[in-house]
Amino acid sequence: MASIESLLTNADLPDSPTPRLDAELLLAAALGKPRSYLRTWPEREPDAAQQALFDTYLQRRRAGEPVAYILGHQGFWSLDLEVASHTLIPRPDTELLVETALELLPATPLAALDLGTGTGAIALALASERPLWQVTGVDRVEDAVALAERNRQRLKLDNAEFLHSHWLSALAGRHYGLILSNPPYIRADDHHLDQGDVRFEPSSALVSGADGLDDIRVIIQTAPAHLLPGGWLLLEHGFDQAEAVRALLTAAGFNDVHSRRDLAGHERISLGRFLT
């Protein structure tokens, strides 16, 4: 039998950008323990069943499957979310949408809408931080809506709801003080689609036409009919798309149009306010 430290040292994940972290997450899951256990008891020897499960996890990771899909959950904001292969894996970059929304809008009652909610990550993060907000998340994939609802129930966030809708198509008569989205924004010919974790993620959550902006155009064109006067629209996009998205927002009549940078210094989100 091998010790915990030996298993981690010999995990062999050459194609992973974070091999040690991946190995620790997978071994901790196989043991049913937190990662801190691995550092506290590096000399302990997992039993045969635990080592076999760890080996299975490693094989899946070597094949390129994302750790989040292997384990079935992913952290986002302060939340631990169930994930599945029919939804995009929540990423730290998207937390900028949450940070910006919380900065722009007060903790007073507000109706907010998350378009393309996936796991419900954005909607649930906002609902957890703003108890007086009523947050709706929509997705065109029914399995994603069901997954987001399971996350909502587990987190006991009664000020959130999830509905089946392709963008705003099923929301006639509803109006919001905030609409935000992390929509598909990758170009159909982007070579990154054949690399890393995105190979396993649903293309419908990633790809949006020849220039990656097809879905963003639809959202910008249809959002004004659902925004209350003074309401904000916040959109995540690619690192090189900010100028184009700002132009689309301005052409659609939005005011206070600007972009904000992520921790890497890229213009990651663009936003505007609809006054009339």
CB 76 within 8 A of CB 121: yes
CB 24 within 8 A of CB 38: yes
Q: What does the pLDDT read at residue 219?
A: 97
172 SS3 class:
coil
Kindly state the average pLDDT of the residues 47-53.
95
What's the full length of the chain, in residues?
276
**Residue whose C-alpha is closest to residue 124's, from 167, 66, 186, 74:** 74
Q: pLDDT digit string (tens) for 126-179?
A: 999 999 999 999 999 999 999 999 999 999 999 999 999 999 999 999 999 999
Q: pLDDT digit string (tens) for 236-254?
A: 999 999 999 999 999 999 9
Q: Does residue 191 register a pLDDT over 70?
A: no
**Strand stretches in the chain, DSSP E:** 73-76, 79-82, 110-115, 133-139, 160-164, 176-181, 227-236, 255-261, 267-274
Kindly state the average pLDDT of the residues 183-190.
74
Q: For residues 11 and 27, give the distance between their C-alpha atoms in angstroms, rounded to a whole number.
A: 10
Phi-psi region of 230 (alpha: psi -120 to 50; beta: other; left: phi over 0): left
Provide the pairing of β-strand 160-164 with 133-139: parallel
CATH of 79-274, one of 3.40.1550.10, 3.40.50.150, 1.10.10.10, 3.75.10.10: 3.40.50.150
DSSP letters spanning 2-65: --HHHHHHT---TT-SSHHHHHHHHHHHHHTS-HHHHHH-TT----HHHHHHHHHHHHHHHTT-
Map out the domains of the chain as residue ranges.
4-63, 79-274
Q: What does the pLDDT read at residue 212?
A: 84
Q: What does the pLDDT read at residue 201?
A: 55
Write down the number of H helices and E strands in the chain. Answer: 10, 9
Quickly state the pLDDT bin for 15 (edges 50, 70, 90). Answer: confident
**Residue whose C-alpha is closest to residue 250's, from 225, 229, 224:** 224
Letter string b/e over residues 18-56, b meaning 16 or more CB atoms within 10 A of that residue's CB: eeeebbbbbbbbbbebeeebbeeeeeeebeeebbebbee
Quickly state the pLDDT bin for 190 (edges 50, 70, 90). Answer: low
**Residue whose C-alpha is closest to residue 182's, from 272, 90, 73:** 90
Kindly state the average pLDDT of the residues 99-119.
97
Q: What does the pLDDT read at residue 66?
A: 92
Which residues, 6+ apart, have CB-to-CB distance to 208 below 8 Å?
183, 184, 185, 186, 214, 215, 216
Most confidently modeled range among 15-24, 89-98, 130-139, 193-202: 130-139
Task: Record the pTM.
Answer: 0.89
In percent, how much of the chain has pLDDT > 70?
Answer: 92
CB 94 within 8 A of CB 76: yes
